[in-house]
Amino acid sequence: MENKQVKYVFEKQIGKSYNINLLVHEKENVNNKWVAKISRKLAPWADFRDLDERAILASRLAKILNVKVPDFLLENINSIDGYDSNEVPDRINDYVFLTRFEKTDLKEFLGIHKFEGIKNSEELYKIFVFNLWIGSYDQKTEDYLVNENNEILSTDYQLSGPGFVSDMDVSIGGWVAKYSLDNPSHTGWCLEGAILGQETPIVEYIKILKPNIDVFEECIKSIEKITESEIEKAMEGLAFYGESETSINNSYMNFLLKRRSGIRKAVIDWIEAGYPNQIDQKSEHEQRKSSYYKSLL
């Protein structure tokens, strides 16, 4: 008997990241391909289970601000035929976050072409300011997608926003570490993050261009104008918890409103500091891991 729930067919696992990314195609149309992301539990010392909700909110806000992100869907993991969900026993839930499959990612693109081959390279400025506003400090080179028209899009917003019980003003980001709007080196992770010594071609490209605040103005102003009611609408149907067992929706709203008025200064400070992005957040990750296990002794 046919399984009515099946909508997609598994092709292969792609990428090399902590979470699981699957290339799938629609059951009714093999040419319509999606990337299905299965989010795994982060760590016992940072137990965030609302990662899909964060990605949905980021994508909705991006659409309001005309920031280029791929189309997205949230589906049950059992809607994918040919993949055994038991292979990911530590997944946070039974859902997959799907984004429309694009031609390639920026890391692969730059292995063949130069930045000049990107038709909308100015979109980098818009994505950067948007990421800074929502607190997305986990941007990697491969999180920029390149479509058939050689245009950049941004993806991977599961690690964004507040949620640390000890401080609701900071964001979660790469290495499940804390990131502050007041730290210029943290700010660089909204464009392209790296622990010490890693190559960051996007940031190096920006350092050559040496943009001033003027090129960021359009996106800064659009964020400053976004209303609380628009944010509320984007949050409809979503529940955020972070590390808490109770809703942090109000704290999430306050986080976005506070950062709305703070991004201009953060961008200026980052420019004046020389566009930094090199920090060793891995060390903080290891320290928090060690502290957690010591507390169990």
Residues of the chain with pLDDT under 50: 1-2, 292-293, 296-297
* Domain residue limits, the chain: 8-295
Structural tokens at position 29: 């149309």
How high is the mean pLDDT of the chain? 91
Residues 101, 103, 109: CA angle, nearest 5 degrees: 130
pLDDT for res 15: 87
What single string gives the DSSP state of each residue in 23-59?
EEEETTEEEEEEEEEEPBP-BTTB----HHHHHHHHH
Regarding pTM above 0.85, the answer is yes
pLDDT for res 61: 98
**What are the pLDDT digits (tens) for 263-289?**
999 999 999 999 998 776 666 656 655
Residues 174, 179, 166: CA angle, nearest 5 degrees: 110
| 159, 108, 122, 234 alpha-carbon torsion, rounded to 10° | -30
pLDDT for res 297: 44
Looking at domain 8-295, its CATH class is mainly alpha
pLDDT for res 285: 56
